[in-house]
Structure 1
Protein backbone atom coordinates (compact mmCIF):
# COMPACT_ATOMS: atom_id res chain seq x y z
CA UNK A 1 0.00 0.00 0.00
CA UNK A 2 1.33 3.44 -0.93
CA UNK A 3 2.18 5.84 1.85
CA UNK A 4 -0.46 8.45 2.50
CA UNK A 5 0.43 11.99 1.52
CA UNK A 6 0.61 14.63 4.24
CA UNK A 7 -2.60 16.67 4.35
CA UNK A 8 -2.68 19.86 2.31
CA UNK A 9 -6.04 20.95 3.75
CA UNK A 10 -8.35 20.06 6.62
CA UNK A 11 -12.04 20.00 7.48
CA UNK A 12 -13.21 20.23 11.09
CA UNK A 13 -16.75 19.18 11.97
CA UNK A 14 -18.51 20.64 15.01
CA UNK A 15 -21.73 19.04 16.21
CA UNK A 16 -24.58 20.74 18.03
CA UNK A 17 -25.14 21.05 21.75
CA UNK A 18 -27.13 22.95 24.33
CA UNK A 19 -27.37 26.55 25.43
CA UNK A 20 -26.28 25.45 28.91
CA UNK A 21 -24.73 22.21 30.14
CA UNK A 22 -21.53 21.89 32.16
CA UNK A 23 -21.43 18.11 32.05
CA UNK A 24 -19.54 16.29 29.30
CA UNK A 25 -21.38 15.17 26.16
CA UNK A 26 -22.85 11.67 26.48
CA UNK A 27 -20.61 8.85 25.30
CA UNK A 28 -20.67 7.11 21.93
CA UNK A 29 -24.09 6.34 20.45
CA UNK A 30 -25.83 8.37 23.15
CA UNK A 31 -24.37 11.57 21.72
CA UNK A 32 -27.03 12.14 19.07
CA UNK A 33 -25.75 15.54 17.86
CA UNK A 34 -22.34 13.98 17.18
CA UNK A 35 -23.93 11.01 15.42
CA UNK A 36 -25.84 13.37 13.15
CA UNK A 37 -22.56 14.78 11.85
CA UNK A 38 -21.10 11.37 10.94
CA UNK A 39 -22.83 11.24 7.51
CA UNK A 40 -21.31 14.63 6.74
CA UNK A 41 -17.88 13.33 7.73
CA UNK A 42 -18.31 10.23 5.56
CA UNK A 43 -19.51 12.29 2.62
CA UNK A 44 -16.58 14.71 2.86
CA UNK A 45 -14.08 11.84 3.14
CA UNK A 46 -15.63 10.11 0.14
CA UNK A 47 -15.58 13.12 -2.20
CA UNK A 48 -12.13 14.35 -1.17
CA UNK A 49 -10.52 10.91 -1.44
CA UNK A 50 -10.32 11.34 -5.22
CA UNK A 51 -8.69 14.77 -5.01
CA UNK A 52 -5.02 15.24 -5.93
CA UNK A 53 -4.35 16.50 -2.40
CA UNK A 54 -4.88 14.83 0.96
CA UNK A 55 -7.64 16.38 3.08
CA UNK A 56 -7.70 15.62 6.81
CA UNK A 57 -11.24 15.30 8.21
CA UNK A 58 -11.61 15.62 11.99
CA UNK A 59 -14.39 15.98 14.54
CA UNK A 60 -14.03 18.59 17.28
CA UNK A 61 -14.36 17.10 20.77
CA UNK A 62 -16.23 19.13 23.36
CA UNK A 63 -15.39 19.17 27.04
CA UNK A 64 -18.88 20.35 27.96
CA UNK A 65 -22.33 19.76 26.57
CA UNK A 66 -23.34 23.44 26.39
CA UNK A 67 -22.19 26.85 25.25
CA UNK A 68 -22.59 28.16 28.79
CA UNK A 69 -22.89 31.89 28.35
CA UNK A 70 -19.73 33.90 28.79
CA UNK A 71 -17.71 30.68 29.22
CA UNK A 72 -18.16 30.00 25.48
CA UNK A 73 -16.89 26.47 26.00
CA UNK A 74 -17.50 25.23 22.45
CA UNK A 75 -15.60 28.20 21.02
CA UNK A 76 -12.53 27.35 23.09
CA UNK A 77 -12.77 23.71 22.03
CA UNK A 78 -12.88 24.81 18.38
CA UNK A 79 -9.82 27.03 18.78
CA UNK A 80 -7.91 24.21 20.49
CA UNK A 81 -8.77 21.89 17.60
CA UNK A 82 -7.57 24.49 15.08
CA UNK A 83 -4.34 24.95 17.02
CA UNK A 84 -3.85 21.17 16.98
CA UNK A 85 -4.32 21.04 13.19
CA UNK A 86 -1.76 23.81 12.78
CA UNK A 87 0.67 22.09 15.14
CA UNK A 88 0.23 18.70 13.45
CA UNK A 89 -0.13 19.60 9.77
CA UNK A 90 1.33 23.08 9.50
CA UNK A 91 -0.23 26.08 7.81
CA UNK A 92 -2.92 24.23 5.82
CA UNK A 93 -6.27 25.84 4.96
CA UNK A 94 -9.19 24.69 7.11
CA UNK A 95 -12.92 24.72 6.43
CA UNK A 96 -15.15 24.52 9.50
CA UNK A 97 -18.48 22.69 9.17
CA UNK A 98 -20.72 23.19 12.19
CA UNK A 99 -24.33 22.44 13.10
CA UNK A 100 -26.43 24.58 15.45
CA UNK A 101 -24.22 25.35 18.49
CA UNK A 102 -21.29 23.93 16.53
CA UNK A 103 -21.98 26.44 13.76
CA UNK A 104 -21.92 29.25 16.32
CA UNK A 105 -18.56 27.99 17.55
CA UNK A 106 -17.27 27.75 13.97
CA UNK A 107 -18.36 31.30 13.17
CA UNK A 108 -16.78 32.64 16.35
CA UNK A 109 -13.52 30.74 15.73
CA UNK A 110 -13.25 31.84 12.10
CA UNK A 111 -10.69 34.52 12.93
CA UNK A 112 -8.10 31.80 13.52
CA UNK A 113 -5.34 32.18 10.90
CA UNK A 114 -5.88 28.65 9.57
CA UNK A 115 -9.55 29.15 8.68
CA UNK A 116 -10.39 29.54 4.99
CA UNK A 117 -14.17 29.37 5.33
CA UNK A 118 -17.19 28.26 7.33
CA UNK A 119 -20.20 26.16 6.38
CA UNK A 120 -22.86 26.73 9.02
CA UNK A 121 -25.73 24.23 9.17
CA UNK A 122 -28.89 25.53 10.86
CA UNK A 123 -26.64 27.86 12.86
CA UNK A 124 -27.44 29.39 16.21
CA UNK A 125 -26.86 33.09 15.54
CA UNK A 126 -27.71 35.33 18.52
CA UNK A 127 -28.12 38.92 17.31
CA UNK A 128 -25.33 40.25 19.52
CA UNK A 129 -22.61 37.87 18.35
CA UNK A 130 -19.57 39.60 16.80
CA UNK A 131 -18.80 39.33 13.08
CA UNK A 132 -15.51 41.22 12.72
CA UNK A 133 -13.60 37.93 12.93
CA UNK A 134 -15.31 36.87 9.68
CA UNK A 135 -13.58 39.56 7.59
CA UNK A 136 -11.86 38.05 4.54
CA UNK A 137 -13.49 34.66 5.18
CA UNK A 138 -15.97 32.73 3.03
CA UNK A 139 -19.13 32.06 5.02
CA UNK A 140 -22.00 29.94 3.67
CA UNK A 141 -24.97 29.31 5.94
CA UNK A 142 -27.61 26.64 5.24
CA UNK A 143 -30.97 26.87 6.99
CA UNK A 144 -34.35 25.22 6.68
CA UNK A 145 -37.19 27.67 6.26
CA UNK A 146 -39.14 25.49 8.73
CA UNK A 147 -36.52 25.34 11.47
CA UNK A 148 -38.22 25.75 14.85
CA UNK A 149 -35.06 25.56 16.99
CA UNK A 150 -32.78 28.17 15.45
CA UNK A 151 -33.85 31.10 13.31
CA UNK A 152 -33.37 31.30 9.53
CA UNK A 153 -33.95 35.04 9.87
CA UNK A 154 -31.07 35.11 12.35
CA UNK A 155 -28.86 33.42 9.75
CA UNK A 156 -29.85 35.96 7.11
CA UNK A 157 -29.09 38.80 9.50
CA UNK A 158 -25.69 37.36 10.40
CA UNK A 159 -24.80 36.83 6.72
CA UNK A 160 -25.65 40.47 6.02
CA UNK A 161 -23.70 41.77 9.02
CA UNK A 162 -20.74 39.57 8.12
CA UNK A 163 -20.71 40.93 4.56
CA UNK A 164 -20.65 44.48 5.86
CA UNK A 165 -17.72 43.50 8.07
CA UNK A 166 -15.75 42.28 5.06
CA UNK A 167 -16.75 38.62 4.80
CA UNK A 168 -17.86 36.91 1.61
CA UNK A 169 -21.17 35.53 2.83
CA UNK A 170 -24.24 33.72 1.56
CA UNK A 171 -27.37 32.05 2.95
CA UNK A 172 -28.89 29.00 1.25
CA UNK A 173 -32.45 28.22 2.34
CA UNK A 174 -33.73 24.64 2.19
CA UNK A 175 -37.48 24.27 2.08
CA UNK A 176 -39.44 21.50 3.81
CA UNK A 177 -36.62 20.37 6.08
CA UNK A 178 -35.98 20.63 9.82
CA UNK A 179 -33.37 21.60 12.39
CA UNK A 180 -31.96 18.07 12.66
CA UNK A 181 -31.53 17.98 8.86
CA UNK A 182 -33.31 14.62 8.69
CA UNK A 183 -35.87 15.64 6.08
CA UNK A 184 -34.12 16.10 2.75
CA UNK A 185 -30.92 14.83 4.35
CA UNK A 186 -29.33 14.22 0.97
CA UNK A 187 -29.67 17.91 0.14
CA UNK A 188 -27.73 18.88 3.26
CA UNK A 189 -25.02 16.26 2.76
CA UNK A 190 -24.58 16.85 -0.96
CA UNK A 191 -24.46 20.63 -0.86
CA UNK A 192 -22.15 20.65 2.16
CA UNK A 193 -19.58 18.45 0.43
CA UNK A 194 -19.73 20.59 -2.70
CA UNK A 195 -19.25 23.72 -0.62
CA UNK A 196 -16.29 22.21 1.22
CA UNK A 197 -14.58 21.35 -2.07
CA UNK A 198 -15.31 24.81 -3.42
CA UNK A 199 -14.11 26.69 -0.36
CA UNK A 200 -10.88 24.68 -0.35
CA UNK A 201 -10.35 25.54 -4.02
CA UNK A 202 -10.67 21.92 -5.15
CA UNK A 203 -13.72 22.53 -7.37
CA UNK A 204 -15.98 25.32 -8.52
CA UNK A 205 -18.67 26.53 -6.16
CA UNK A 206 -22.29 26.46 -7.35
CA UNK A 207 -22.66 29.53 -9.58
CA UNK A 208 -25.41 31.15 -7.49
CA UNK A 209 -23.38 30.71 -4.30
CA UNK A 210 -20.26 32.09 -5.95
CA UNK A 211 -22.21 35.12 -7.19
CA UNK A 212 -23.61 35.75 -3.70
CA UNK A 213 -20.14 35.56 -2.17
CA UNK A 214 -18.99 38.28 -4.60
CA UNK A 215 -21.70 40.78 -3.64
CA UNK A 216 -20.60 44.25 -2.48
CA UNK A 217 -20.59 45.05 1.22
CA UNK A 218 -23.86 46.98 1.17
CA UNK A 219 -25.91 44.48 -0.84
CA UNK A 220 -29.44 43.82 0.47
CA UNK A 221 -29.94 40.68 2.55
CA UNK A 222 -32.21 39.13 -0.08
CA UNK A 223 -29.48 39.40 -2.73
CA UNK A 224 -27.25 37.16 -0.64
CA UNK A 225 -29.96 34.53 -0.13
CA UNK A 226 -30.18 31.54 -2.47
CA UNK A 227 -33.03 29.02 -2.64
CA UNK A 228 -31.69 25.46 -2.72
CA UNK A 229 -34.37 24.17 -5.08
CA UNK A 230 -33.60 26.88 -7.60
CA UNK A 231 -29.91 26.19 -7.16
CA UNK A 232 -30.24 22.51 -7.99
CA UNK A 233 -32.57 22.97 -10.99
CA UNK A 234 -30.25 25.53 -12.59
CA UNK A 235 -27.32 23.11 -12.61
CA UNK A 236 -26.35 20.87 -15.50
CA UNK A 237 -25.55 18.15 -12.94
CA UNK A 238 -28.29 18.38 -10.30
CA UNK A 239 -27.44 18.42 -6.63
CA UNK A 240 -29.04 15.72 -4.45
CA UNK A 241 -32.55 16.17 -3.13
CA UNK A 242 -33.89 13.49 -0.83
CA UNK A 243 -32.45 10.32 0.66
CA UNK A 244 -29.70 10.00 3.21
CA UNK A 245 -26.99 11.20 0.88
CA UNK A 246 -24.44 8.85 2.40
Structure 2
Protein backbone atom coordinates (compact mmCIF):
# COMPACT_ATOMS: atom_id res chain seq x y z
CA UNK A 1 0.00 0.00 0.00
CA UNK A 2 1.36 3.39 -0.96
CA UNK A 3 2.15 5.66 1.94
CA UNK A 4 0.18 8.89 2.23
CA UNK A 5 2.16 12.09 2.07
CA UNK A 6 2.32 13.84 5.41
CA UNK A 7 1.79 17.56 5.76
CA UNK A 8 4.75 19.21 7.45
CA UNK A 9 3.93 20.72 10.81
CA UNK A 10 4.34 24.46 10.73
CA UNK A 11 6.18 26.12 13.57
CA UNK A 12 6.63 29.73 14.50
CA UNK A 13 10.17 31.01 14.85
CA UNK A 14 12.19 34.04 15.79
CA UNK A 15 14.10 35.90 13.13
CA UNK A 16 17.79 36.50 13.71
CA UNK A 17 18.72 39.19 16.19
CA UNK A 18 18.48 42.68 14.74
CA UNK A 19 21.84 44.39 15.14
CA UNK A 20 24.77 42.93 17.05
CA UNK A 21 24.05 40.03 19.38
CA UNK A 22 24.49 41.34 22.96
CA UNK A 23 27.09 39.52 25.04
CA UNK A 24 24.56 39.44 27.88
CA UNK A 25 20.86 39.86 27.20
CA UNK A 26 18.98 41.89 29.83
CA UNK A 27 15.72 42.39 27.94
CA UNK A 28 13.97 41.34 24.73
CA UNK A 29 11.61 42.95 22.25
CA UNK A 30 9.50 40.73 20.03
CA UNK A 31 8.25 42.52 16.92
CA UNK A 32 4.93 41.22 15.57
CA UNK A 33 4.12 41.95 11.91
CA UNK A 34 0.66 42.50 10.52
CA UNK A 35 -1.47 39.77 9.01
CA UNK A 36 -4.92 39.08 7.64
CA UNK A 37 -8.22 38.37 9.28
CA UNK A 38 -8.48 34.93 7.64
CA UNK A 39 -5.69 33.11 5.78
CA UNK A 40 -4.02 29.71 6.03
CA UNK A 41 -1.16 30.79 3.79
CA UNK A 42 2.37 31.31 5.02
CA UNK A 43 3.35 34.92 5.73
CA UNK A 44 5.55 36.58 3.15
CA UNK A 45 7.99 39.45 3.65
CA UNK A 46 6.69 42.84 2.59
CA UNK A 47 6.91 46.58 3.26
CA UNK A 48 5.37 46.16 6.72
CA UNK A 49 8.08 43.68 7.74
CA UNK A 50 10.72 46.10 6.46
CA UNK A 51 9.14 48.86 8.58
CA UNK A 52 9.31 46.61 11.64
CA UNK A 53 12.98 45.86 11.03
CA UNK A 54 13.63 49.61 10.77
CA UNK A 55 11.87 50.05 14.10
CA UNK A 56 14.00 47.24 15.50
CA UNK A 57 17.18 49.05 14.46
CA UNK A 58 15.87 52.20 16.14
CA UNK A 59 15.28 50.23 19.34
CA UNK A 60 18.78 48.76 19.23
CA UNK A 61 20.28 52.25 18.94
CA UNK A 62 18.10 53.59 21.77
CA UNK A 63 19.12 50.73 24.08
CA UNK A 64 22.82 50.81 23.31
CA UNK A 65 24.80 49.11 26.11
CA UNK A 66 21.61 47.82 27.80
CA UNK A 67 21.80 44.26 26.44
CA UNK A 68 18.65 44.35 24.31
CA UNK A 69 17.77 41.47 21.97
CA UNK A 70 15.29 42.35 19.22
CA UNK A 71 13.61 39.73 17.03
CA UNK A 72 10.86 39.74 14.41
CA UNK A 73 8.42 36.88 15.00
CA UNK A 74 7.77 34.61 12.01
CA UNK A 75 4.20 33.34 12.21
CA UNK A 76 2.93 29.94 11.14
CA UNK A 77 0.01 31.45 9.23
CA UNK A 78 -0.80 34.79 7.71
CA UNK A 79 -4.30 34.91 9.26
CA UNK A 80 -5.73 35.45 12.72
CA UNK A 81 -8.33 32.84 11.77
CA UNK A 82 -11.18 33.45 14.17
CA UNK A 83 -11.13 31.53 17.42
CA UNK A 84 -7.82 29.91 16.48
CA UNK A 85 -6.13 33.29 17.09
CA UNK A 86 -2.99 31.92 15.45
CA UNK A 87 -1.02 35.16 15.63
CA UNK A 88 -1.67 35.57 19.35
CA UNK A 89 -0.61 31.99 20.03
CA UNK A 90 2.57 32.56 18.02
CA UNK A 91 3.27 35.73 20.03
CA UNK A 92 2.92 33.76 23.28
CA UNK A 93 5.20 31.04 21.86
CA UNK A 94 7.76 33.72 21.02
CA UNK A 95 7.73 34.96 24.62
CA UNK A 96 8.31 31.38 25.77
CA UNK A 97 11.18 31.10 23.32
CA UNK A 98 12.75 34.33 24.55
CA UNK A 99 12.68 32.99 28.10
CA UNK A 100 14.18 29.69 26.92
CA UNK A 101 17.02 31.50 25.16
CA UNK A 102 17.73 34.34 27.54
CA UNK A 103 16.40 33.32 30.92
CA UNK A 104 14.28 35.43 33.23
CA UNK A 105 14.50 38.74 31.35
CA UNK A 106 11.69 41.26 30.79
CA UNK A 107 9.95 41.03 27.44
CA UNK A 108 8.08 43.67 25.45
CA UNK A 109 5.67 42.73 22.67
CA UNK A 110 5.46 45.37 19.94
CA UNK A 111 3.07 44.78 17.07
CA UNK A 112 1.85 46.51 13.94
CA UNK A 113 -1.68 46.19 12.50
CA UNK A 114 -2.90 42.62 13.22
CA UNK A 115 0.37 42.16 15.09
CA UNK A 116 -0.83 44.88 17.45
CA UNK A 117 -3.86 42.78 18.28
CA UNK A 118 -1.59 39.76 18.80
CA UNK A 119 0.63 41.77 21.15
CA UNK A 120 -2.34 42.94 23.21
CA UNK A 121 -3.91 39.48 23.35
CA UNK A 122 -0.64 37.76 24.34
CA UNK A 123 0.30 40.50 26.79
CA UNK A 124 -0.71 38.35 29.75
CA UNK A 125 2.32 36.08 29.34
CA UNK A 126 4.28 35.93 32.60
CA UNK A 127 7.47 37.29 31.00
CA UNK A 128 5.77 40.27 29.34
CA UNK A 129 5.99 43.55 31.21
CA UNK A 130 4.95 45.94 28.46
CA UNK A 131 3.05 46.02 25.18
CA UNK A 132 3.16 48.48 22.28
CA UNK A 133 0.43 48.31 19.62
CA UNK A 134 0.94 50.42 16.50
CA UNK A 135 -2.15 51.07 14.36
CA UNK A 136 -3.67 47.88 15.78
CA UNK A 137 -6.35 45.95 13.93
CA UNK A 138 -9.15 45.36 16.43
CA UNK A 139 -12.57 43.80 15.82
CA UNK A 140 -15.83 45.70 15.86
CA UNK A 141 -17.59 45.87 19.20
CA UNK A 142 -20.34 43.27 19.29
CA UNK A 143 -22.65 43.07 22.27
CA UNK A 144 -23.73 39.58 21.20
CA UNK A 145 -20.18 38.24 21.33
CA UNK A 146 -17.39 38.36 23.86
CA UNK A 147 -15.48 41.63 23.51
CA UNK A 148 -11.76 41.64 22.88
CA UNK A 149 -10.24 40.76 26.30
CA UNK A 150 -8.34 43.33 28.35
CA UNK A 151 -7.84 41.75 31.79
CA UNK A 152 -4.67 39.98 30.64
CA UNK A 153 -3.02 43.41 30.54
CA UNK A 154 -3.31 44.03 34.28
CA UNK A 155 0.17 44.71 35.66
CA UNK A 156 1.60 45.62 32.24
CA UNK A 157 2.37 49.01 30.78
CA UNK A 158 0.54 49.50 27.50
CA UNK A 159 1.08 51.97 24.66
CA UNK A 160 -1.26 52.29 21.68
CA UNK A 161 -0.49 54.71 18.85
CA UNK A 162 -2.83 55.32 15.91
CA UNK A 163 -3.13 57.73 13.00
CA UNK A 164 -6.38 59.68 13.00
CA UNK A 165 -6.81 59.20 9.22
CA UNK A 166 -6.07 55.46 9.23
CA UNK A 167 -7.99 53.99 6.31
CA UNK A 168 -7.34 50.32 7.15
CA UNK A 169 -7.71 49.96 10.90
CA UNK A 170 -10.30 52.10 12.65
CA UNK A 171 -8.69 54.42 15.24
CA UNK A 172 -12.01 54.71 17.07
CA UNK A 173 -11.90 50.98 17.79
CA UNK A 174 -8.46 51.26 19.36
CA UNK A 175 -9.75 54.16 21.48
CA UNK A 176 -12.70 52.08 22.72
CA UNK A 177 -10.37 49.19 23.46
CA UNK A 178 -7.99 51.48 25.35
CA UNK A 179 -10.89 52.90 27.37
CA UNK A 180 -11.94 49.41 28.47
CA UNK A 181 -8.33 48.43 29.20
CA UNK A 182 -7.80 51.60 31.26
CA UNK A 183 -10.64 50.57 33.58
CA UNK A 184 -8.80 47.32 34.37
CA UNK A 185 -5.27 48.73 34.33
CA UNK A 186 -4.32 52.34 34.91
CA UNK A 187 -0.98 51.90 33.07
CA UNK A 188 -2.53 52.30 29.61
CA UNK A 189 -1.94 55.25 27.29
CA UNK A 190 -2.83 55.98 23.70
CA UNK A 191 -1.37 58.56 21.32
CA UNK A 192 -3.06 59.97 18.23
CA UNK A 193 -1.01 60.98 15.21
CA UNK A 194 -3.00 63.79 13.65
CA UNK A 195 -3.91 63.36 9.99
CA UNK A 196 -1.54 60.42 9.50
CA UNK A 197 -2.68 57.23 7.82
CA UNK A 198 -2.14 53.51 8.41
CA UNK A 199 1.55 53.41 7.59
CA UNK A 200 2.27 56.41 9.84
CA UNK A 201 4.79 57.57 7.23
CA UNK A 202 4.25 61.30 7.70
CA UNK A 203 5.45 61.15 11.31
CA UNK A 204 7.54 57.99 11.15
CA UNK A 205 10.43 59.44 13.14
CA UNK A 206 8.13 60.70 15.89
CA UNK A 207 6.32 57.36 16.12
CA UNK A 208 9.52 55.30 16.24
CA UNK A 209 10.95 57.64 18.87
CA UNK A 210 7.78 57.36 20.96
CA UNK A 211 7.86 53.56 20.78
CA UNK A 212 11.60 53.47 21.56
CA UNK A 213 11.14 55.75 24.57
CA UNK A 214 8.33 53.54 25.88
CA UNK A 215 10.03 50.20 25.18
CA UNK A 216 13.46 51.06 26.58
CA UNK A 217 11.93 52.84 29.57
CA UNK A 218 9.65 49.96 30.52
CA UNK A 219 12.26 47.25 29.95
CA UNK A 220 15.22 48.88 31.68
CA UNK A 221 13.69 51.30 34.14
CA UNK A 222 14.75 54.45 32.33
CA UNK A 223 12.59 57.53 32.98
CA UNK A 224 9.82 57.78 30.41
CA UNK A 225 9.47 61.02 28.48
CA UNK A 226 7.15 63.62 29.98
CA UNK A 227 4.44 63.13 27.32
CA UNK A 228 4.28 59.39 28.05
CA UNK A 229 4.24 60.00 31.81
CA UNK A 230 1.44 62.52 31.36
CA UNK A 231 -0.56 60.17 29.14
CA UNK A 232 -0.26 57.31 31.62
CA UNK A 233 -1.29 59.55 34.51
CA UNK A 234 -4.14 61.40 32.80
CA UNK A 235 -7.70 60.16 33.26
CA UNK A 236 -9.63 59.09 30.19
CA UNK A 237 -10.23 60.35 27.65
CA UNK A 238 -7.25 62.73 27.94
CA UNK A 239 -4.58 60.06 28.30
CA UNK A 240 -6.15 58.02 25.51
CA UNK A 241 -6.30 60.83 22.94
CA UNK A 242 -2.87 62.29 23.61
CA UNK A 243 -1.59 64.09 20.49
CA UNK A 244 1.86 63.07 19.32
CA UNK A 245 3.74 66.32 18.90
CA UNK A 246 5.73 67.02 15.76
CA UNK A 247 9.44 66.80 16.50
CA UNK A 248 9.04 64.30 19.35
CA UNK A 249 12.14 62.39 18.22
CA UNK A 250 14.29 65.50 17.92
CA UNK A 251 13.39 66.63 21.41
CA UNK A 252 14.42 63.27 22.87
CA UNK A 253 17.78 63.27 21.08
CA UNK A 254 18.53 66.65 22.62
CA UNK A 255 17.97 65.48 26.21
Q: TM-score, normalised by structure 1?
A: 0.86
The one-character-per-residue Cα deviations of 1:162-219 (angstroms, maximum 9, x if unpaired) are 111125101111113211222222122222111111111342212132133234xxx3
Query: What CA distance in whole angstroms lies between the structure 2 residues aligned with 1:231 and 1:84?
Result: 36
What displacement does 1:226 show?
A: 1.0
Query: What CA distance in whole angstroms lies between the structure 2 residues aligned with 1:210 and 1:84?
Result: 31
Partner of residue 49, structure 2: 34
Instruction: Map 1:72-151 to 2 at 5 A.
Output: 72-126=85-139, 127=141, 128-151=147-170
The 1:72–1:6 alpha-carbon spacing in structure 2 relative to 1, beyond 3 Å, is same
Partner of residue 244, structure 1: none
Give the root-mean-square deviation of aligned CA atoms.
Answer: 2.0
5+ long unaligned stretches in structure 2 = 1-20, 142-146
Query: What CA distance in whole angstroms lies between the structure 2 residues aligned with 1:70 and 1:185?
Result: 33
Larger radius of gyration: 2
5+ long unaligned stretches in structure 1 = 241-246
Between the two proteins, the alignment pairs up a number of residues equal to 227
Runs of 4+ in 1 over 4 A off after TM superposition: none
The 1:108–1:206 alpha-carbon spacing in structure 2 relative to 1, beyond 3 Å, is same
The 1:223–1:75 alpha-carbon spacing in structure 2 relative to 1, beyond 3 Å, is closer
Contact 2:200 2:207 in 1 (8 A): yes
1:65 to 78, 86, 111: 78
Q: TM-score, normalised by structure 2?
A: 0.83
Instruction: Map 1:1-246 to 2 at 5 A.
Output: 4-26=22-44, 30-49=45-64, 51=65, 53-126=66-139, 127=141, 128-215=147-234, 219-229=235-245, 232=248, 238-239=251-252
